[in-house]
Amino acid sequence: MSPAFDPGRLAGRIAAGEPLALARGISHVENESDGFEALLERLDGRTGRARRIGITGPPGAGKSTLTAALTRHYLNQSLKVGIVAVDPTSPFTGGALLGDRIRMGELSTEPGVFIRSMASRGSLGGLATATREAADLMDAAGYDRVILETLGVGQAELDIAVSADTTAVVLVPESGDGVQAMKAGLMEVADLFVINKSDRPGADRLEKEIAIIMSIRFANRPPGDADGDADEVWRMPIMQTVASEARGIEEFAEHLDRHFDWLRSTEKLETHRQTARLRRAHDALLRRSRRDAQRIWRRASRETLDSGASPYATARRLYEEFRKTLGGT
Amino acid sequence: MSPAFDPGRLAGRIAAGEPLALARGISHVENESDGFEALLERLDGRTGRARRIGITGPPGAGKSTLTAALTRHYLNQSLKVGIVAVDPTSPFTGGALLGDRIRMGELSTEPGVFIRSMASRGSLGGLATATREAADLMDAAGYDRVILETLGVGQAELDIAVSADTTAVVLVPESGDGVQAMKAGLMEVADLFVINKSDRPGADRLEKEIAIIMSIRFANRPPGDADGDADEVWRMPIMQTVASEARGIEEFAEHLDRHFDWLRSTEKLETHRQTARLRRAHDALLRRSRRDAQRIWRRASRETLDSGASPYATARRLYEEFRKTLGGT
């Protein structure tokens, strides 16, 4: 079967920074269209330049507003920004109130900004994988910063957050969100904490709560790494913002830069990027086997499926077919 | 390799209703221990008796308290209740404040109640699949009701909710949760809506909001099915509870029973169960191929992984090995 598109040509157009080509490329990856892997492979050598920033947190924390404010900050520095939104409650993906969506709409018409929302349901099986690859394409297209906005709940979503170079966890002062959120696995993914909507009561209290929890965490760590180098330890900033008024955004961007510099200086960046490449290969291998299994499933006869056998016997029988098909080609 | 346990013996003990055997069985499924599929297969003929109830909604909606109250109601009717909690913010899984956890702890010591939390991170790849199979084991162990408590955000989590016979979406009066939640895909999975903490202001307003959204939805539907039978249409209840005081729980249970009766009377239950069996076979097939691919990945040589080839070329090369291994056995 001939591919649905010409991967070489599309790769060239993406590398040249054509937004329409980038949009098409991401769709091909998301849909796993014939040739999508050839596209990714051709652009592989062009990735690794962008800094990837994960912004995650509970619903209503203002992740999108923070993303928008950070994007404006980068635009003022003449940096190009790609945004991948996988948060079902995000205005980028259509989950917000009208006012929010209009504000985001303004951003989407800015030159130098590319916004893409990924479907969090109905994906072919690899939301986190496809999201990372969408970020790869933005990287290859020359975007200097790629922001991954994801909801901080759910397995696939947290997987996305941790794939960024730097992950910011966004919380709000209300209702003991801090402790609750920590328990939901957000603490493990955070490189820095942002208390957004900090003009509301409770921001200082929450900051103290987080600091206490962090100090308990640090207490269990050695003061330096194995070589006794204190620079090896990242002291996690906890900061306050009012993203809707762009308050604290400059400081936020500074902390992100500081973290990136720290990653680079400790060679953690290189390790991180190498791990990411291995992860890509791992995911691509699993995707290949899944696609083959799905092909067999689609071809399965009604008789096999309706045989009355247990689901596990049916799967075993289909898998035998799968093996035979593979062996015979 | 000999299996890590004797599937036949464990199946017998689970079928006899031994809680410790059930706990071990679920762990084997979750860890995909050698022999786990044989265990599922042996118990396959004993499933289908339990009614499965999904309880989902945003964080803080009181899903666990509602689950606990419903469980007490069933216990009073001498029904055995299995609970699978996959919500990272649930007190069942350790995400709640101390007081909540103590209340849940009381429930866990009741005879006739079996509580199991599933790890929402770090699972081998099939959280939704393993959760459905944990419910199968509870079903086979003689639990009359199996409640699946999941957070109503994230792909894997919503997949779990829709696998129940009846899915209740729980919301709270505050902060326009209703409309927000609807947009996050909760509306598509709901068979009934519960407005919990309805003693707080805004419950009636939220109920009206949902009713309006639902009426728009129903307006796009024919008044009956193809045969013109109005019974084919499920009129979705919207109800109010204060779960912490067990208010509205009896009505909640009645609505669940009504929905189950409706499923049965329209033969939708049978369709649903058949679809579920197909889904099991599909998932088991994909799991087999994933496990093989992971085996190849673990065996992959350092040279292949460090070759400097693109991740996609590496995956292709490993997949060729995978095919050869399969063809040769």
What is the percent of chain A where pLDDT is above 90? 50
For an interface test with B, the pick among A289, A302, A318 (most B C-beta atoms closer than 10 Å) comes out as A289
pLDDT tens per residue across span B2-26: 567 999 999 999 999 999 999 999 9
Is the separation of the CB atoms in A231 and A259 below 8 Å? no
pLDDT at residue number A320: 85
| Higher local confidence (pLDDT), B268 or A176 | B268
pLDDT tens per residue across span B232-257: 788 899 999 999 999 999 999 999 99
Nearest to A95 by CA among B89, B194, B58, B204: B58
Both structure tokens of B274 = 């058949």
Exposed/middle/buried for residue B174 (C-beta within 10 Å: 0-12, 13-18, 19+): middle
Report helix, strand or coil for B82.
Answer: strand
Question: Can you give the C-alpha Rg of chain B in angstroms?
Answer: 22
Beta strands in chain B (DSSP E): 51-57, 81-85, 113-117, 145-151, 166-171, 192-195, 238-240
Statement: residue A158 has pLDDT above 80? no
Going by their DSSP bridges, the two strands B166-171 and B113-117 should be labelled as unpaired
Nearest to B157 by CA among B14, B271, B49, B56: B56
Nearest to B127 by CA among B89, B166, B84: B84
N-to-C CA span, chain A: 16
pLDDT band at residue A9 using 50, 70 and 90 as cut-offs: very high
CB contact under 8 A, B311 and A157: no
Q: Please state, in angstroms and as integers, the Cα–Cα distance from residue B329 to each residue in B36, B48, B55, B291, following that order.
A: 22, 36, 45, 16
Which of B125, B184, B285 is opposite residue A319, by nearest beta carbon?
Answer: B285
Residues A161-175: what's their mean pLDDT? 87
Which of B95, B310, B312 is opposite residue A183, by nearest beta carbon?
Answer: B95
Q: Phi and psi of B292, rounded to 5°? A: -65, -45
Q: In whole angstroms, give the CA distance from residue A171 to residue A56.
A: 9
Is the separation of the CB atoms in B242 and B266 below 8 Å? no
Please list every residue in chain A whose beta carbon sits closer than 8 Å to the beta carbon of residue B285: 293, 296-297, 314-315, 318-319, 322
The segment with the largest mean pLDDT, out of A73-77, A264-268, B95-99, is A73-77
Please list every residue in chain B whose beta carbon sits closer than 8 Å to the beta carbon of residue A296: 285
Statement: residue B229 has pLDDT above 60? no
DSSP code at position B247: B
Query: What is the longest distance spanned by two Cα atoms in chain B?
Result: 68
Please list every residue in chain A whose beta carbon sits closer than 8 Å to the beta carbon of residue B313: 41
Packing angle of the helix pair B127-140, B36-43 (nearest 10 deg):
50
For an interface test with B, the pick among A286, A297, A298, A304 (most B C-beta atoms closer than 10 Å) comes out as A286
Exposed/middle/buried for residue A106 (C-beta within 10 Å: 0-12, 13-18, 19+): exposed
CB contact under 8 A, A120 and B45: no
CB contact under 8 A, A315 and B285: yes
pTM listed for this prediction: 0.81
Please list every residue in chain A whose beta carbon sits closer than 8 Å to the beta carbon of residue B286: 125, 290, 293-294, 297
Is the separation of the CB atoms in B67 and B83 below 8 Å? yes
Whether the predicted interface score ipTM is above 0.85: no
Residues B151-174: what's their mean pLDDT? 82
Å between A113 CA and nearest CA of chain B: 25
Å between B160 CA and nearest CA of chain A: 12
Statement: residue A231 has pLDDT above 90? no
CB contact under 8 A, A180 and B312: no
Q: In whole angstroms, give the CA distance from residue B12 to residue B18.
A: 9
DSSP code at position A308: -
- Bridge partners, residue A267, by sequence: none
* Residue ranges in B32-140 assigned as alpha helix (H): 36-43, 63-76, 98-108, 127-140
Which of A120, A281, A326 is opposite residue B326, by nearest beta carbon?
Answer: A326
Query: What is the longest distance spanned by two Cα atoms in chain A?
Result: 67
Sheet holding B51-57, edge to edge: B113-117, B81-85, B145-151, B51-57, B166-171, B192-195, B238-240
Both structure tokens of B130 = 């393993």
Which of B59, B121, B315 is opposite residue A158, by nearest beta carbon?
Answer: B121
Nearest to A289 by CA among B104, B315, B310: B315
Q: In whole angstroms, give the CA distance from residue A314 to residue A327.
A: 20
| Higher local confidence (pLDDT), A320 or A14 | A14
Packing angle of the helix pair B36-43, B19-31 (nearest 10 deg):
130
Nearest to A175 by CA among B59, B201, B150: B59
Cα dihedral sign for A11, A16, A17, A19? negative
The CA-based angle A260-A262-A263, given to 5 degrees, is: 65
Buried b (16+ CB within 10 A) or exposed e, A255-290: bbeebbebbeebeebeeeeeebbbbbbbbbbbbbbb
pLDDT at residue number A285: 92
In DSSP notation, A169-224 reads EEE-SGGGHHHHHIIIIIHHH-SEEEE-STTSTTHHHHHHHHHHHHHHHHHTS-SS
pLDDT at residue number A170: 93
CB contact under 8 A, B120 and A155: yes
Please list every residue in chain B whose beta carbon sits closer than 8 Å to the beta carbon of residue A154: 120, 151, 153-157
Please list every residue in chain B whose beta carbon sits closer than 8 Å to the beta carbon of residue A329: 323
Which of A59, A153, A290 is opposite residue B88, by nearest beta carbon?
Answer: A153
Q: In whole angstroms, give the CA distance from residue A170 to residue A153.
A: 12
Which of A37, A89, A328 is opposite residue B312, by nearest beta carbon?
Answer: A37
Structural domains in chain A?
1-46 (no CATH), 47-266 (3.40.50.300), 285-327 (no CATH)
CB contact under 8 A, B312 and A41: yes
- How many interchain CB pairs under 8 A, A with B? 204
Beta strands in B144-281 (DSSP E): 145-151, 166-171, 192-195, 238-240
Question: CB within 8 A of A140, min separation 6: which ones?
Answer: A11, A14, A15, A43, A46, A47
Please list every residue in chain A whose beta carbon sits closer than 8 Å to the beta carbon of residue B155: 120-121, 123, 127, 154, 156
N-to-C CA span, chain B: 16
- Bridge partners, residue B167, by sequence: B54
Report helix, strand or coil for B242.
Answer: strand
C-alpha A57 chain-centroid distance: 13
Does residue B139 come out as left (phi exceeding 0), alpha (psi in the -120 to 50 range) or beta? alpha
CB contact under 8 A, B315 and A41: no
Please list every residue in chain A whose beta carbon sits closer than 8 Å to the beta carbon of residue B319: 285, 288-289
Report helix, strand or coil for A324.
Answer: helix
| Higher local confidence (pLDDT), B303 or A68 | A68
Which of B123, B179, B311 is opposite residue A284, by nearest beta carbon?
Answer: B311
Both structure tokens of B33 = 């221990």
Å between A77 CA and nearest CA of chain B: 32
pLDDT at residue number B96: 52
Is the separation of the CB atoms in A149 and A85 below 8 Å? yes
Q: How high is the mean pLDDT of chain A?
A: 85
Nearest CA in chain B to A37: B312
| Higher local confidence (pLDDT), B257 or B319 | B257
